[in-house]
């Protein structure tokens, strides 16, 4: 196993956990602004319709995927700067 991969594993794990927290907080704030409501609907919320539930899920997925990609890319760039090689 390359040194860069060994260095990247714990960094990626910690960054991923932090990213999940950041993405969740970001989603809640974006939902409040976009939907002009407090909480996003859950799939089992009987008072909310399909369009609203699916829109919330799509927005949440987009935010989580974007944050995950940004953190993964940033972590790989950091590891390359530290070790001189790209983690595979």
pLDDT at residue 67 in the model = 95
pLDDT tens figures, 24-52: 999 999 999 998 888 899 999 999 999 99
30-56 exposure pattern, b = at least 16 Cβ within 10 A, e = fewer = ebeeeeeeeebbeeeeeeeeeeebebb
- 49 located within any domain: yes
Q: Contact, 75 vs 12, CB < 8 A? A: yes
The boundaries of the domain holding residue 21 are 3-83
d(CA 62, CA 81) in angstroms, rounded, equals 29
In a domain, 62, yes or no: yes
Residue 23 has pLDDT above 90, yes or no: yes
Q: State the chain's mean pLDDT as an integer.
A: 90
Residue 79 lies in a domain: yes
CA distance linking residue 6 with residue 76, whole number of Å: 12
Question: For the segment 6-20, what is each residue's pLDDT rounded down to a tens digit?
Answer: 877 887 888 889 999
Answer yes or no: is 88 within a domain: no
> How many structural domains compose the chain?
1
Q: Is residue 9 part of a domain?
A: yes
pTM for the model stands at 0.83
């Amino acid at each position: 196993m390359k040194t860069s991969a060994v260095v990247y594993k714990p960094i990626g794990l910690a960054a991923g956990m932090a990213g999940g927290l950041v993405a969740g907080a970001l989603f809640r704030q974006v939902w409040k602004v976009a939907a002009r409501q407090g909480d996003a609907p859950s799939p089992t919320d009987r008072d909310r319709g399909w369009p609203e539930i699916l829109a919330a899920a799509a927005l949440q997925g987009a935010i989580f995927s974007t944050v995950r990609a940004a953190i993964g890319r940033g972590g790989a760039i950091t590891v390359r700067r530290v070790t001189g090689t790209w983690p595979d």
